[in-house]
Amino acid sequence: MTTPVLPQDCLDMAELRKQIDRLDVELVELLVARAGYIDRAIELKKDNGWPARIPDRVEEVIENAGREAETRGLDPEIAKTVWRLLVEWSVQREAQVIREE
């Protein structure tokens, strides 16, 4: 694992790329963890007879991401775009299993 270096402390593009690659690994690890929660949601939704898509929750998650991004100085629209893709993937993952059983 690469030691974290602040962006302003990267002395060259090689170091900068190394840090971006390190963050990408961390992001993938977080996505894997999130997918585990989606798998648990599938079980709970099946037990409760709930659909994969709950529109109010979808919008809540996306808006939460946008607000959090804005609070931290990131363009909320990029966060909402990424989260919309993530949530749609999650709903499709849920729908495939819920429909099959």
CB 16 within 8 A of CB 24: no
Q: What is the pTM of this model?
A: 0.86
Q: What tens digit of pLDDT does each residue of 52-93 get?
A: 999 999 999 999 999 999 999 999 999 999 999 999 999 999
- Binding site as annotated, residues for substrate: 17, 34, 45, 94
* pLDDT band at residue 99 under the 50/70/90 scheme: confident
Q: Which domain holds residue 60?
A: 11-100
On whether residue 1 sits in a domain, the answer given is no
- Binding site as annotated, residues: 17, 34, 45, 94
How many domains are contained in the chain?
Answer: 1
Nearest to 91 by CA among 28, 23, 44, 42: 42
* 19 CB-near residues (< 8 Å, 6+ apart): 2, 4, 5, 7, 10
CATH number assigned to the domain comprising residue 67: 1.20.59.10
